Amino acid sequence: MKKATFWQKARCLASSVLLAVLTIPILFITSVKEAEAVPSFARKYDMSCNVCHTRQPRLNPYGQRFMENGYQLPGTADGGRKEKHLLGGETNGATLDEISNYMAIRLRADIQQGSLREKVDGVSEDPDIIFPRTVNIFFAGTAKKDISFFFEAEYDTQDPAESAMIFERSMLIFDNLFAPNNGTVKIGQFDPSALYSFPTHRQQLNPIKPIAETGTFPPEINRIPVLPLAFSSKMFGLTTGGLASGAANSQPGEEGFAILPFEPYLFNAPVQKGVSVHGRVFGNSLLYQVGVVQKMTAEETPQTRWDSYVMLRYDVQGAFSNFQVSGFYYTASKAAMPTVNMGSGPIAADETVDWNRYGLAARWQHKAWDIYGTYIADTIDKPVFSGGMPLGGASTWETDASGISVEADYLLTDKWMLGARYDQMKAGGLIRGMPQAMNAAWDQDLNQDASLLALIGKYYPAPNIGLYARYHHNLESSVKLPSAMGGDEHPATNLTSMFIVGVDMAF
């Protein structure tokens, strides 16, 4: 990993100072009411955070409908309330919100202590104290009735090497184009699974990024990310292609040339560029979503590719309960390049593979319980390596993979939330580079399963401030990489456990 240069460090410092300077006046503008500071939507409508959130950032059913309706109150096209300032006359005026009514900031800071199995060279991870770790600035709201916007800039202090500020999600939303509650069009970069019963972007346990080098193949994974494994790509041995030309393809939001089996992908990637249309049909209970995502193919000369997906969700309301079940199907053609590296360099398959993903999720909210889970399965075409053995033709591949993530949150009191999550991944992709008979060094399956258990306690002195302690435990026992790949700790089992305390607050 490259060390940050002086200029990068300086830029980092300057950005931090600038951010702090910007933050302080905003904190004064948005005065605290009843010890409940209120981010922009709550400010605009004069409501507590918990009208829309179970506990931030997760949404309760009302918040889900608010988001679905383009940040307008469900059942209305209120343009984000009438009380905008009218500048320049009744007939030709511009209506503007106060800035505090559409701008909000989220700060996350962690102290992480990961515990890794002793690596070959005896390195284990030190406690990681980073404050603040991630700062997000949101601009979200309605420009006019049924026209909404959302922009999110994220600054990650863990990666000063990257551009200091990147635009995460950014989208324009045109609401209710077909009929009330039907035909909302989203254009931009957004989480395709935002309406799914287990959306990627809203987790009580914030995803912790991997420590990995993905510019080469095989990638060097020093520590896997901690996030719902069902979202992961689950496939070993895939890359984004473009090998021979030396132009490694990787898109914003992807980890790099090598597609990590553990990175959230396709429908469940946190940011995808595309268009989606959603709405309610046949009454109030059935929600549909269809969309396309623009990516590049994994061919030698990458072309634009359009993935497409469809999602359906069914909601049922009861006394103090909401139950919803959803399913999706996502299809990507020429999405990845199977690749094998036997020590002399990566070798690409003859052709890219199509990649299809489908999933089923359910969420049950009852009184103080919020229980949700998803099963997601992936399939790829069988990779073809012509040119005979041992150049990849002898490799064996698993074309199917699946994952499950289930989480239960319980609101013990108004201020205390407890949660537990279980993740399991049955990995696919490259099993072996070649049979052991031909090369004794290929003595292990590469695509090992992963499973993790997490426990969390979160304390909310105010609804928009969460102090948490979380513990992740790796349930898989130690497995090594094949000797051909170094024989070191397998990434799926390398991390034995992780303990994190942190704060997550939004203003």
The residues that touch other proteins, with contacts defined as CB under 8 A, are 33-34, 36, 45-48, 50-51, 53-55, 60-62, 65, 72-83, 180-181, 284, 317-322, 365-368, 411, 413-414
CB of 36 to other proteins, least distance (A): 7
Q: Which is nearer to other proteins, 72 or 249 (CB)?
A: 72
Q: Which is nearer to other proteins, 182 or 436 (CB)?
A: 182
Q: Which is nearer to other proteins, 184 or 493 (CB)?
A: 184
Bridge partners of 290?
A: 277, 310
Q: Please confirm whether the linkage preceding 132 is cis (ω < 30° from 0).
A: yes
Q: Quick check: 66 and 194 in contact, CB under 8 A?
A: no
CB of 464 to other proteins, least distance (A): 13
Kindly provide the b/e burial profile for residues 107-130, where b requires at least 16 CB atoms within 10 angstroms of the residue's own CB: bbbbbbebebeeeeeeeebeebee
Q: Which is nearer to other proteins, 119 or 144 (CB)?
A: 144
Q: Which is nearer to other proteins, 81 or 473 (CB)?
A: 81
Q: Which is nearer to other proteins, 38 or 277 (CB)?
A: 38
CB of 102 to other proteins, least distance (A): 15
CB of 14 to other proteins, least distance (A): 37
Rg (CA), the chain: 23
CB of 461 to other proteins, least distance (A): 15
Q: Which is nearer to other proteins, 39 or 61 (CB)?
A: 61
**For residue 226, what are the contacts with CB-CB under 8 A and spacing of at least 6?**
205, 207, 208, 452, 454, 472, 495, 498
Block residue for tokens 């009208």: 51
Question: d(Cα 214, Cα 219) in Å, to the nearest integer?
Answer: 5
Q: Which is nearer to other proteins, 221 or 411 (CB)?
A: 411
Q: Which is nearer to other proteins, 67 or 425 (CB)?
A: 67
CB of 147 to other proteins, least distance (A): 14
CB of 317 to other proteins, least distance (A): 5
Of the candidates 341, 9, 312, the residue with the CA atom closest to the CA atom of residue 160: 9
Phi, psi of 195 (to 5 degrees): -100, -5
Which pair of structure tokens corresponds to residue 180? 């009330």
Q: Quick check: 359 and 378 in contact, CB under 8 A?
A: no
CB of 468 to other proteins, least distance (A): 17
Phi, psi of 501 (to 5 degrees): -120, 145
**For residue 395, what are the contacts with CB-CB under 8 A and spacing of at least 6?**
237, 340, 383, 385, 430, 431, 432, 433, 434
Phi, psi of 244 (to 5 degrees): -60, -40
CA atoms within 13 A on the CB side of 344: 4
Q: Which is nearer to other proteins, 248 or 325 (CB)?
A: 325
CB of 463 to other proteins, least distance (A): 9
Task: Please count the other Cβ atoms lying within 10 Å of the Cβ belonging to residue 349.
Answer: 26
Bridge partners of 455?
A: 420, 471
Dihedral angle over CA of 236, 237, 241, 243, nearest 10: 150
Question: d(Cα 259, Cα 266) in Å, to the nearest integer?
Answer: 11
CB of 373 to other proteins, least distance (A): 18
Q: Quick check: 169 and 189 in contact, CB under 8 A?
A: yes
Block residue for tokens 């997550």: 504
